[in-house]
């Protein structure tokens, strides 16, 4: 029974993650419910989500939606920052982030709801790719390693609003940088011994199916479909984080 639960948890998370991020909303509570210590749950989650993200990246790449040239610097910066964030999280309290992030996500949801054409077409970038890479690769890479919830949403809105990227391509770019931070964070968790391979393998099987289906849906249905799922996931993150955060 536990194996079936883990497989379908991975499948659902992979599907959602490939479209709008937020799969951790599903996986982390399940892993904690199974009785895993928090660091082990987080490490196991990174292990299974890394494979799903890799499948999504492959699917977007084959569809020609990834501009690898513009992603080189931001990917490297994100990877390095994520390692630092993962190391720091083991030593510092994340209480401030737990209180602040739901409100930032709520602002993103409201902004997206009030901007129906957001990400519908390419626009002129407001930052150079180098400035964007250093700023957001540093901040969001660190954040993903340190805390994590909503990282994909923050990346997607940054690509659309500051770099003028169409939402489907922004989602593809987000998966690439998410993969970088996932790999870096996973390596750090493995180094610290915080993971359960047996549990992760079952979830990976589900992730491989879910990520492929989710990326396929996003590519087929485009900006309008992604926007609906994106808003739903962001609002779910807000509710989940506010519910879990003590006042």
Mean pLDDT of 177-200: 91
Our count of domains for the chain comes to 1
Q: For 119-177, what is each residue's pLDDT tens digit?
A: 666 888 899 999 999 999 999 999 888 777 678 888 988 999 999 999 889 999 999 99
pLDDT exceeds cutoff 90 at 235? no
Paired tokens of 170: 């922004």
**Per-residue pLDDT, 247:** 47
| Structural contact between residues 153 and 105, judged by C-beta atoms closer than 8 angstroms | yes
Q: Looking at 24-28, 47-51, 112-116, 176-180, which range is the least confident one?
A: 112-116
Mean pLDDT of 106-126: 74
Count CA within 13 A, CB hemisphere, residue 45: 27
The closest of 219, 174, 147 to 71, measured between CA atoms, is 174
Which domain covers residue 226, as residue numbers? 2-244
Task: Report the distance separating Cα 242 and Cα 247, nearest Å.
Answer: 9
High-pLDDT (> 90) share of the chain, %: 44
In the block, which residue shows the tokens 């506010």?
242
């Amino acid at each position: 029974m536990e194996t079936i639960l883990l497989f379908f948890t991975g499948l659902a998370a992979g599907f959602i993650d490939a479209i709008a991020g937020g799969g951790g909303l599903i996986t982390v509570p399940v892993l904690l419910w199974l009785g895993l210590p928090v660091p082990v749950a987080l490490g196991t989650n990174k292990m299974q989500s890394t494979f799903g993200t890799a499948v999504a990246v492959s699917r977007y790449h084959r569809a020609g939606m990834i501009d690898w040239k513009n992603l080189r610097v931001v990917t490297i910066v994100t990877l390095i920052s994520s390692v630092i964030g993962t190391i720091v999280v083991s030593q510092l309290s994340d209480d401030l982030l737990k209180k602040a992030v739901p409100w930032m996500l709520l602002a993103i949801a409201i902004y997206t709801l009030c901007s129906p054409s957001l990400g519908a077409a390419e626009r002129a970038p407001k930052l150079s790719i180098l400035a964007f890479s250093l700023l957001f690769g540093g901040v969001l890479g660190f954040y993903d390693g340190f805390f994590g919830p909503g990282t994909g949403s923050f990346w997607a809105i940054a690509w659309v609003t500051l770099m003028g990227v169409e939402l489907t391509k922004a989602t593809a770019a987000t998966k690439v940088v998410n993969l970088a931070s996932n790999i870096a964070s996973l390596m750090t968790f493995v180094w610290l011994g915080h993971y359960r391979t047996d549990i992760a393998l079952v979830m990976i099987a589900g992730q491989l199916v879910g990520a492929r289906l989710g990326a396929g849906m996003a590519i087929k249905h485009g900006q309008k479909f992604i926007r609906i799922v994106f808003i739903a996931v962001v609002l779910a993150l807000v509710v989940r984080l506010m519910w879990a955060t003590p006042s």
